Amino acid sequence: MSLADTFRTWGASPAWRMGVSIGVATGLYGPSFGALAVSSGLTVWQACALSALMFTGGSQFAFAGVLGGGGTPIAAWSAASLLSIRNGIYGIQMKSMLRPPTAVIPAMAQITIDESMGTSSAQTEPAEQRRGFVTAGVAVYIFWNIGTLLGALLGQAIGDPKAFGLDGAAAAAFIGLLWPRLKGRDPITLAIVAAAATIIVVPFVPPGVPILIAAAVSLVVTLAQQRRQP
């Protein structure tokens, strides 16, 4: 198959179109992270490095949010690491489903995120699953990094992000990630308990620690819910 035929095949692919559209949509809120990162004390290039290397939006917002709230780098790193555990689970699922060659696994690991996993899993044919994974992962990577750079430059230029409401970007991002998962009694209960635990401990512990406490409480509640089920 020629290169032109390859492009035509991918262009006609539903998975390709889905992946590109998701990449563009995700890139639209990349500037929020860039601006938040700069307002949290990071330089423009440090913000860009987080997007290029860490490349998992929830963890990046957690990292910048904890730093912006006065937390230590260790607390920020811990919060980000907790949220990135899901990417490791995605990696196991994608390796089993796509069966990639060993040589490309490190590259695939870099683009194993919510969007690439979701796009791939939505397909039924193996070829479309691979196209969806690659297209969504690469598209999100490109547009997210472009958005981060633009947001970081904008955040550096405007000064105080609170004047534009950008200080609430991290909380808004987490609500956006959480809301679609609140289906059923157990997830809603878990969210309420974790939120209550966070609110209770905020006045008494350093910034960043409430996230870790909420994670520990969530683990206990989840184990109790699973033990209750037959």
pLDDT digits (tens, 9 = 90+) for 165-211: 655 655 665 566 566 667 778 878 888 888 888 888 888 877 667 77
- Is the pLDDT at 214 greater than 50? The verdict is yes
Using the 8-state DSSP alphabet, how is residue 104 labeled? G
Encoded tokens for 36: 């938040």
Encoded tokens for 17: 């179109």
* Domain ranges (residues) in the chain: 3-166, 182-230
* Residue of 1, 3, 14, 15 lying closest to 131 (CA atoms): 15
Average of pLDDT values for 80-106?
A: 88
**What pLDDT, on the 0 to 100 scale, is given for residue 8?**
54
With contact defined as beta carbons under 8 Å apart, do 217 and 194 qualify?
Answer: yes
CB neighbour list of residue 143: distance below 8 Å, 6 or more residues apart? 23, 24, 26, 27, 28, 30
Average of pLDDT values for 110-125?
A: 89
- Is the pLDDT at 68 greater than 50? The verdict is yes
* Residue of 11, 16, 7, 12 lying closest to 138 (CA atoms): 16
- Is the pLDDT at 39 greater than 50? The verdict is yes
With contact defined as beta carbons under 8 Å apart, do 130 and 154 qualify?
Answer: no
Encoded tokens for 44: 């423009």
- Is the pLDDT at 158 greater than 80? The verdict is no
pTM of the model: 0.74
Query: How many Cβ atoms sit within 10 Å of the Cβ of residue 7?
Result: 11
CA dist 226 to 165, 185, 190, 215, Å? 39, 13, 12, 16
Q: How confident is the model at residue 4 (pLDDT cuts 50, 70, 90)?
A: very low
Query: CA 39 to CA 28: how far, in whole Å?
Result: 19
* Residue of 120, 145, 134, 181 lying closest to 60 (CA atoms): 145
Encoded tokens for 187: 């997830």
First CA to last CA distance, the chain: 53
